[in-house]
Amino acid sequence: MGENLSIITFFFITFQPIILDGAGHLKGRLAAFVAKQLLLGQRIIVVRCEQIICSGPYYRNQHIFLSYLKKRCNVNPKRGPFHFRSPAKMFYKCVRGMVPWKTQRGRKAMCMLKTYEGVPSSLASHRKLVVPEVMRVVRSNPAAKFCHLGKVAHEVGWKYRTVIRRLERRRLIKKKMAVIHKKHVSAFKAKAVHAARKELRPFQAIKANYGY
């Protein structure tokens, strides 16, 4: 994948936010994991929410969400419920359903969660983590059908799928160029150190005569 990823084998509370890469994770299992850590006091950032996986065929997930869109207040629909089309907001609401968000404890927990489509430029250089026990390749049957949350969101009104894809391609190209540049710098540095050692060899012999 070319991503700077690490695996969470055990979870501990840190003052710094944990950045999770949502790609390849099952939506419900990831939401349950995130909700638990939020209630424990951990700040969490989830990126690439459009790549989160919904188990089941695409048309079934689309039908479920379209029926969900019909739920509204008959007296005044502006009162809610509010239906989000953005994958980041959809996942945020999924996590909110697993947290007692109407209490002070739940509201405080939800304030520690941030979700994004793609990877913001401010987080591009940070290490992203994955949770193996909630990934599709670990939990699901390989023959089971699935779809991405971004596809469902796009079909029900999300307008920025092409923009996010373009930005992701640009980010990956930039990351690849940065890796190549780092390798070139390391090679030049090693070459310079080798040349310097060769030039300093006579002086090292003189220092050795004096016991240094």
78 and 11 co-located in one domain: yes
- The CATH number for 125's domain is 3.90.1180.10
Query: Rounded CA gap, 163 and 173, in Å?
Result: 16
- Say if residue 131 is in the same domain as residue 203: no
**Residue 195: which residues within 8 A CB-CB, separation 6 or more?**
none
Q: What letter does residue 132 receive in the DSSP assignment?
A: G
Q: Rounded to an integer, what distance in angstroms lies between the CA atom of residue 121 and that of residue 77?
A: 37
Do residues 71 and 91 share a domain?
yes
Mean pLDDT, range 93-114, rounded to an integer: 96
Least confident of 8-17, 100-109, 194-203: 8-17
The reply to whether 144 and 190 lie within a common domain is no
Residue numbers of the domain that contains 146: 5-159
CB < 8 Å & 24+ apart, contacts of 198-203 = none
Which of left, alpha, beta for 118 (phi over 0: left; psi -120 to 50: alpha)? left
End position of a domain, from candidates 116, 136, 159 = 159
Average pLDDT, the chain: 91
Instruction: Give the domain-ending residue among 139, 159, 179.
Output: 159
53 and 22 in a single domain? The answer is: yes
Both 114 and 174 in one domain: the answer is no
Instruction: Express as a percent the part of the chain with pLDDT over 70.
Output: 94
How many domains in the chain?
A: 2
Q: For residues 151 and 176, state if they share a domain.
A: no
Which amino acid is present at 147? C
For the stretch 23-47, pLDDT in tens is 999 999 999 999 999 999 999 999 9
* Residues 153, 170 share a domain: no
